Structure 1
Amino acid sequence: MPVLVITGTGTEVGKTITTAAVAAVAVAAGRSVAVLKPAQTGVAPGEQGDAGEVARLSGAVTARELARYPEPLAPATAARRSGLPPVRPRAVAEAAAELAAGHDLVLVEGAGGLLVRFDEEGGTLADAARLLGAPVLVVASAGLGTLNTTELTARELRRQGLRTAGVVIGSWPAAADLASRCNLADLPVVAGAPLLGALPEGAGAHQPAGFRTAAPGWLAPRLGGTWDAQAFASAFAP
């Protein structure tokens, strides 16, 4: 099935904007795209969630949430505190499969990191990816500390028999420090997977038209873009 699961090495690493960039590139190539957010937390009824933000930036995509919880917590905790039903990995897989039947590409964006719990039984995004047999794209931060969280995520993916599609840096700083520049060489090593893009800091602040025009330059050809990892790393070589 044409499903790509997108996870982060933690919160606030640029996962939603990366999802929007992948969607924008696919839409520009003439593919029909759906984005699935299994559990949206910290957003009140009527407010725009992550799936809606992806749709706003990327264009004509189908946006779907399975559950929404008002408090900005892990999905299992938010569900318990709200008294609402939790999301189960099997429900995520079934929804993604349903969307895949009518779309060329389905992007499943997790909440936080790979092992954030959806329910009290410990179901996670990794479980949903395994049920789908889908590869997982890892969105990582640029600077100090990212090597540890990226390697931990990649090791867990391998342990669970899942394939790491690659790593995207979700927010490349305007003034990259030494650690960030060194990490361009080290991230693919610790992940055991290629570096497939780097989104500039503040990319989500672009107007939609500008975002869609720029997105191919942030992503490697494997994700439909034109970004060159070797040239990018050479330009920022320490």
Structure 2
Amino acid sequence: MTVLLVTGTSTGVGKTVITAALAAAARAGGRTVAVCKPAQTGVGGDYSDEADIDVVQRLSGVRGVELARYPEPLAPDVAARRSGRPMLELDAVVDTVRALDAAHDLVLVEGAGGVAVRLGAEGFTVLDIAGAVGASMLVVAGAELGTLNHSALTVAAVRAAGVTCAGLVIGSWPTEPSLAARVNLEELPLVTGVELIASVPGGAGALDEKEFGALARTIFGEFTDSLLG
């Protein structure tokens, strides 16, 4: 069984689409997949809004588990305090991931923001989840200027926590990439010391499930097959 945490260099870099693509690629390869989103912020509490876990299901056909939801678009621990709702507990996340892991070939856990974002009680982060369940981590990065610094800092934090970094992915590759974006394709592996696995075209999240699944398998099929053995 394999658990992979999907984190980002920041918010808005494409973690949810990448999580969906990994799920779709593994599913197309005949594997059983589960997705966990520990904490969702910035959506209504009546579950009428499309949350990240809904996007994953819409694109990949893989159902997911969401453990906590807060209405304000803030870091989960801050959003919990401001809403008066209970904070997420690390043990609850770990127990959920382990249960999913026992029943699936691959479990994908999508974080919130970056690796230092506090998800709940006592300030735990995705690094704490990874350490507790023995997971590796995939880092989703932006394409443009600034991503070298953000990516290097993120990978350094992952390594300092004793977590294996499975690689980098550019979450949204522009239709007309700038000079910085084009150069970053070569520079990202050099400054981080990890492989740049893929770049996903911007707008992929607007595809239907069939089109998205085919794209995901093309981009991530080799990676997910290798990850799962």
- Give the TM-score band, short-chain normalised: over 0.9
Cα offset, 1:217, TM superposition: 2.7
Higher-RCO chain (CA-CA 8 Å, sequence separation at least 6):
2
Letter in 1 for 2:102: A
Alignment of 1:206-225 (within 5 A): 206-219=207-220, 221-224=222-225
Distance, in Å, in 1 between the alignment partners of 2:136 and 2:121 is: 25
Distance, in Å, in 2 between the alignment partners of 1:194 and 1:126 is: 20
8 Å CA contact 1:196, 1:223 repeated in 2: no
Match of 2:23 in 1: 23
Match of 1:101 in 2: 102
Please state whether the residue corresponding to 2:198 is helix, strand or coil: strand
8 Å CA contact 2:88, 2:121 repeated in 1: no
Please state whether the residue corresponding to 1:219 is helix, strand or coil: helix
Distance 1:142 1:224, change over 3 A: farther
Alignment of 1:29-178 (within 5 A): 29-44=29-44, 45-46=46-47, 47-59=49-61, 61-119=62-120, 121-178=122-179
8 Å CA contact 1:198, 1:219 repeated in 2: no
Cα offset, 1:221, TM superposition: 1.9
Distance, in Å, in 1 between the alignment partners of 2:161 and 2:63 is: 29
Cα offset, 1:89, TM superposition: 2.4
Q: Are 1:182 and 2:174 matched, yes or no?
A: no
Match of 1:236 in 2: none
Structure 1: gaps of 5 or more residues: 226-238
Cα offset, 1:62, TM superposition: 2.9
Distance, in Å, in 2 between the alignment partners of 1:219 and 1:146 is: 22
Distance, in Å, in 2 between the alignment partners of 1:141 and 1:156 is: 17
| 1:180-217 alpha-carbon deviations (Å, 9 max, x no partner) | 11111111122221111110011101111111111123
Distance, in Å, in 2 between the alignment partners of 1:89 and 1:191 is: 28
Cα offset, 1:3, TM superposition: 0.5
8 Å CA contact 2:25, 2:221 repeated in 1: no
**% of aligned pairs identical?**
53
8 Å CA contact 1:89, 1:125 repeated in 2: no
8 Å CA contact 2:26, 2:221 repeated in 1: no
Q: Between Structure 1 and Structure 2, how many residues are aligned? A: 224
Q: TM-score, normalised by structure 2?
A: 0.94
| 1:153-202 alpha-carbon deviations (Å, 9 max, x no partner) | 00001111011000000000000111111111111122221111110011
Distance 1:220 1:144, change over 3 A: farther
